[in-house]
Amino acid sequence: MFPGFIQATILAVIVILTHTTKHIHCDDEASKVDDSYVLSLTKDTFDDAVKNNKYLLVKFVAPWCGHCKTLAPAYAAAAKKLAESGSEVKLATVDATIDGDLAKQYEVQGYPTLKFFREGTTLEYNGGRSESEILGWLKKKTGPPADELKTVDDLNKLKESDAVVVVGAFKDTEGDNAMAFLQVAKSMDGIPFGITSNSDVLKELQVKDDTVVLLKKFDEGRNDLTSSINEDSIREFILANQLPIVIDFSAETAQQIFGGDIKVHTILFDSKKSDAYEKNRQELQTTAKEFRGKTVFVFVDSDAADNERVLEYFGLKASDVPVVRLITLQDEMRKYKPESSDVTSELLTKFVRDFHDGKLKPHLLSQEIPEDWDKAPVKILVGKNFHEVAKDKTKTVLVTFIAPWCGHCKQLTPIYEELGEKYKDNSDVVVAKMDATVNELEDIKIQSFPTINLFPKGSDEAIEYNGPRTVEGLSKFIDSNGQDSGKDETSDKASEQGDEGVEGEEEQPHVEL
């Protein structure tokens, strides 16, 4: 998990939501899954299962969780394949809504959360959600980091196993170059690695000296690293070449795009039906080649209905395309907007270079201030009027940051409106809300929904509320000027705000996204 992971994966969460909706509501595949090879564990059987299985992958779920249902078929298929092959790896599931103590013990913050138990140690699962990705991750954690390629057939099998594979071709598989290669193979999930010194395989690969070969089923098809072979150079080489020069956004590629080690993304939103589409994509491709290994370049098709919420996240509409945005997923998520709307390689290159040179300022979304923003008991804030209202030191201001798709926010609405009614005639108190998905603030970063902050009268402080979401609890928070924030009155905020599926359910960011 990299720093600021919660902030960084909010976009990936929204992305996954858009792409899983149709699967959940059309087929409900989870109801047809043969999960007979998946162990069903409870608090009474959990410890024995961990003790008696050398390798155990456990999925913590909730029955209402849409993403749990979406994951179920791939998870069950992986369990079946492992069982049929006689593997020592077992897959299990825990209903965290029933066995909440187990979920709390293993710090489950949302659903689904996967934990891997390996001979007494516990690892966070950070692989993908397809059958092949689950199996590949487990293979890397339980077997050798790289397959030994003894024959050309072994090489061909490896090449067919995935869209991207990496082969270490060495004269001596015990040498320094080979050892560096194996160290990298151990640390990189999601890519099959092979290693060889076999003369027939080296001839098939057309290499004579030590070489790291990346084989892929797109773009130029192959990249070679032939000099200065060490751990750093191998890792940089793979990062620079494992993705397409411009990668099309989809549910299948979301993990690669937002879960990788490169944290800078330049995104072109455009219509594939546009007459200028091919030209715009080529302009992006030209720029992308200059920043390989530093920036991931992504194309989002604005015609795809599933991408509507991705555009919304950036404050865009289909009528705005073609348009470019850059996001960085470093310590916190930031978005950047080019000065010009023209899509040319010259302008794009300058835009991306200026970002890397630290010359750009983040682009913050804000809706326009509604004419009636202050007419109702609960005031409506946007980016443009937030500081004027919330930072008014003559008043105590309570602000709830919401998302329109957030189930817990919807549950809070009638309670919050009642709270607004209670304080509507109090000139010293303001009760307000802000849609944080379309209004962004430089100094306040929202990590989950809803987030409730109090800005006390006469203070620059922002105090987060952690108590029960009731009129009584929130009233105490306001009346105490933030002193009674409810920290000792609630059991587990994470479980209360745990992620959900779709249709009014929110999913907390997780490493497996």
> Which of these is catalytic: 78, 409, 441, 452?
409
Spot the catalytic one: 398, 406, 430, 434: 406
What residue has token string 């290159």? 349
**Token pair for residue 463?**
């105090």
The CA-CA-CA angle for residues 402, 403, 405, to 5°, reads 140
Amino acid at 257: I
β-strands 264-270, 323-329: how paired?
A: antiparallel
Q: Which of 23, 105, 3 is nearest to 68 (CA)?
A: 23
N- to C-terminal Cα separation, the chain: 11
What is the chain's alpha carbon radius of gyration, rounded to the nearest angstrom?
25
How far apart, in Å, are the Cα atoms of 371 and each of 77, 368, 498?
54, 9, 35
Burial group, residue 425, by CB count within 10 angstroms (0-12, 13-18, 19+): exposed
Three-class DSSP category at 433: strand
Give the separation between CA 116 and CA 193, rounded to whole angstroms: 21
Residue tagged active-site, from 13, 68, 382, 502? 68
Measured distance CA(267)–CA(246) in Å, rounded: 9
Rounded CA separation 345/287 (Å) = 5
173 and 179 Cβ atoms separated by less than 8 Å: no
Helix then strand count (H, E) for the chain reads 18, 20
The H or E element that residue 326 is part of is strand 323-329
Q: What are phi and psi of 471, to 5 degrees?
A: -60, -40
How far is C-alpha 280 from the chain's CA centre? 27
Number of residues in the chain? 513
Give one word for 476, left, alpha or beta, with left for phi > 0 and alpha for psi -120 to 50. Answer: alpha
Active site residue 26: no
Kind and range of the H or E run holding 61 = strand 55-61
Task: Please give the torsion angle defined by the CA atoms of residues 446, 451, 452 and 457, in that order, rounded to the nearest 10 degrees.
Answer: -10
Q: How many C-beta atoms lie closer than 10 Å to residue 422's C-beta? A: 16
Q: State the catalytic residues.
A: 65, 68, 406, 409
